[in-house]
Chains A and B, each alone.
Chain A
Amino acid sequence: MGVMRLGFVHLRVTDLEEARNHYSNTLGMHVVAEEPGKLHLKCWDEWDHHSLVLEEGGVGLVKLGYKCQTGEDLERFEQRAQRFGATTGRVSKGENLAVGDGVRIALPSEHVIELYTDMEFSGTETGSLNPEAWPRTMRGAGTNWIDHALCPAEDPALVERFFMECLDFRPAERAVTDPAHPELIGTWMFCGESPHDIAFIKGPNGKLHHFAFHLGDWSDILRAGDIFSMDDVSIDVGPTRHGITRGTTIYFFDPAGNRNEVFAGGYRTGPDFPTITWTEDQLGKGIFYITRELNDRFTTVFT
């Protein structure tokens, strides 16, 4: 019951061929479908048709797709969103290639999400019958799956309330200003057992901070770093560890300037996970655990 995971990211890129090279050769995704001005890609360990849509023209997010278990979930979420005061709409099967009917919601933070239940099944690259551990033809960093997205919002508390009240997400970690009179400046929210499936930090509405690819462990992260150097990728931060989630990470940019992350580790959440709180004075440790210093770009660079 409920939202299962981030199913797809629909992203704008200024140059589609440069983006194709970055997401497939550098990060290891496969192009599964092409339309004029648009590419659909997936990672080797994902079983649905695609997880990334690249659209030529501009930069930043078009929308995020969250996969839900049942049609009843979609109806329930649509009603709750409308009661909350958000604008909703219906998405017809086929409007998104290989995706069934869904509900589109304009968040209070001006981002667009689409909830759906069906996407064409194509299987992981290793398959479901006596599988190998990873594909022999894995390219570049060999990312496993798209894991989460972080977006800025002028009012993180409002969009957090939306996700909790309408979509049954819970905050795993929150960042507040002063514990005595706390203003919410960041929230990392989950719908399953991942550290988070969506997150918001204080910043301009409608923009993208980053979306993240999952890797197995520290050595995969470090190897990805070498690949990024070989491919002249613009690096933001890392390799390092986050205090928030304990995950190891590199932040970097695609050729259009959209921020990506490769991320490994973290912990297991669940409905009874005790929410972690960070205070603003310790946010450097929360974001960049080893240096314990926030870098200027983390709070100012968005697309």
Chain B
Amino acid sequence: MAGAWWRGGEVAQVTVLPGAARIQAGDGETVLRAALRSGFRYRWGCKRGGCGVCKVRLVVGEVRYERPIAANVLTETERAAGICLSCRAVPVTDLIIELQEGDRLQGASLRGGNSAGP
């Protein structure tokens, strides 16, 4: 559950609110990629960290970013408030994330999703 530490090769569990669906993220896998690969969808944009549309609130847990993020896409204030850019955020621990108001997790009709990989 939340707070469990994991090293490379193991899986991080990401719980998505609202709804509490559980997604497994693989080694180095971003939150968005894990969701899409698992057959789920929520609101995303460029999938490359430039537009900010995929921001979610990190309720519990830690993430890291392996690429530079533009300061105006994810501000220091937002980071401090627990907002994360889900297309670039890689779980460091198990996570609980909350989607933006009005957004909800949807399942794609086929396992693996019918949208292009992130």
- What residues make up the interface of A, taking CB atoms closer than 8 Å to B? 12, 14-15, 57-60, 232, 234-236, 253-259, 296-297, 300-303
Contact = CB atoms under 8 A, between A and B. Distances in A.
24 contacts: A14-B67, A57-B70, A58-B70, A58-B72, A59-B50, A59-B70, A60-B50, A60-B70, A234-B46, A234-B47, A234-B118, A253-B47, A253-B50, A254-B48, A256-B49, A257-B49, A257-B50, A259-B46, A296-B43, A297-B45, A301-B45, A301-B46, A301-B51, A303-B70
Interface of B: 43, 45-51, 53, 67-73, 116-118
| Most chain A beta carbons < 10 A, residue from B50, B70, B117 | B50
Given A59-B73, A297-B53, A253 B46 contact: yes
Which 4 pairs, one residue from A and one from B, show the smallest C-beta to C-beta distance? A257-B50, A257-B46, A301-B45, A257-B48
Contact of B48 (A58, A60, A234): A234
B116 A14 contact: no
B103 to A, nearest CB: 11
B41 to A, nearest CB: 11
A301 B47 CA distance: 10
B70 A234 contact: no
Contact of A302 (B47, B51, B68, B70): B51
| Most chain A beta carbons < 10 A, residue from B51, B67, B71, B73 | B51
A301 B48 contact: no
Given A14-B70, A303-B46, 9 more contacts: A14-B49, A57-B70, A58-B72, A59-B70, A60-B50, A234-B47, A256-B49, A297-B45, A301-B45
B118 to A, nearest CB: 7
A255 B48 contact: yes
| Most chain A beta carbons < 10 A, residue from B46, B70, B72, B118 | B46
B46 A14 contact: no
Contacts of A235: 116
B50 A258 contact: yes
Nearest to A253: B46
Nearest to B116: A235
Contacts of A297: 45, 53
Nearest to A259: B46
| Most chain B beta carbons < 10 A, residue from A58, A302, A303 | A303
A258 B47 CA distance: 10
A257 B48 CA distance: 5
A196 B50 CA distance: 26
Given A234-B116, A234-B118, A301-B53, A253 B48 contact: yes
A235 B46 CA distance: 8
Contacts of A234: 46-48, 116, 118
A257 B51 contact: yes
A257 B118 CA distance: 12
Contacts of A15: 67-68
A236 B118 CA distance: 11
B36 to A, nearest CB: 12
B114 to A, nearest CB: 13
A14 B68 CA distance: 6
A224 to B, nearest CB: 15
A303 B50 contact: yes
| Most chain A beta carbons < 10 A, residue from B45, B47, B67 | B45
